Amino acid sequence: MARTALRILLGFLSTAVFLAAFILVGDVLLAAIAATAVVVVQFVFGRTTSAKPSVAIWASLAIVLTLTGVSLMGDDANASLMSRTDITGSVSNCACKPATKVHGLPVPFLSTPKTIAPAPGPV
């Protein structure tokens, strides 16, 4: 039981290295390079001891690559959330104060009622 837990923890070593490097350094690419280096060392060590890579190593590599891709894809998230309009700092068209154009529009219930044409023929 303890040996299996140790194999799983060693399998997810690259994910732990990725998260630790990202927290310490703050750069996704450097963290991904460090985690990938750990996976390569694990593969080389596995080949020299004639052991096949475990499922945990492959899962850890998939997690590292997924987290790297998601982090790099969302790197310009602030730029895409900004509006394309110029920021002038003026409040001329602010929604918090009434606009002047609204007062000139006719309100349907205050305008003159329309007359209904009488039905053709006798009633």
pLDDT 10s digits, 59-109: 888 888 888 888 888 755 555 455 455 555 555 555 555 555 555 555 555
Confidence of residue 11 (pLDDT cuts 50, 70, 90): confident
pLDDT tens readout for residues 26-67: 888 898 899 989 988 988 888 888 878 788 888 888 888 888
Domain spans of the chain?
26-74
Mean pLDDT of the region 1-27: 86
C-alpha–C-alpha distance, residues 72 and 41, integer Å = 25
